[in-house]
Chains A and B, each alone.
Chain A
């Protein structure tokens, strides 16, 4: 069975500082990995995805993530955050042959302070 662990429930950071949101997964089969963002009182928006190929993937709003198969990780990074990045971020995994069902982590709340 697959599972996703987001290692930090909350991450406070100052504006213009770098940030890393950590995600680890567990799976016995090859996986596809995603990061979603949820702004307050809104639905989920796809930030980026890893399906295959280059392990460094770039997404919207200046975010990027690196797939590390040996460490079963898919950490999300941004070199300089803005107040507008304040939101909840979800890591998710799916796998081939699984009806594209997503398994989500519990989420990390990013709070950017001025």
Chain B
């Protein structure tokens, strides 16, 4: 357990509404990540951060934005949610030895 929490844990929202998911860590790790998990695809990287205000795109970044104003918080925003963004979202941190530890996940349903 690397002290990672995600909020909310479950959310149902309507198409076209903005949604923000929060990831919070307690151990001051530099690297943080957002992944989405879909059947048959494993986990795919959405965005990642390598420091405060330092972020970059991952494999599936279209329709998502992120912000990191403090070391401990990494926010993922869906500007205008679509049904294709229904998924389970995982936040993760990386240690200096390349290990990643994951939060408990957020199940998002877009209706």
Contact = CB atoms under 8 A, between A and B. Distances in A.
Interface string A47-68: 0010100000000000000000
A43 B105 contact: yes
B22 interface: no
Contacts of B92: 102
**Interface of chain B, main secondary structure:** strand
A104 B90 contact: no
Nearest to A102: B100
A34 to B, nearest CB: 8
Contact of B42 (A42, A51, A99, A106): A106
A32 B97 CA distance: 10
Contacts, number: 54
Contact of B43 (A45, A90, A94, A99): A90
- Sort chain A's interface into a size bin: 20 to 34
Nearest to B50: A99
Contact of B41 (A34, A42, A106): A106
Residue of B50, B90, B99, B104 with most partner-chain A CB within 10 A? B99
A100 B94 contact: yes
Nearest to A33: B98
B41 A101 contact: no
Interface string B28-56: 00010101000011111100101000001
B99 A49 contact: yes
A6 B43 CA distance: 13
Contacts of A107: 42
Given A43-B90, A43-B105, A44-B90, A100 B42 contact: no
6 nearest CB pairs, A to B: A104-B42, A100-B94, A44-B102, A104-B43, A43-B102, A106-B42
Interface of B: 31, 33, 35, 40-45, 48, 50, 56, 58, 90, 92, 94, 97-105
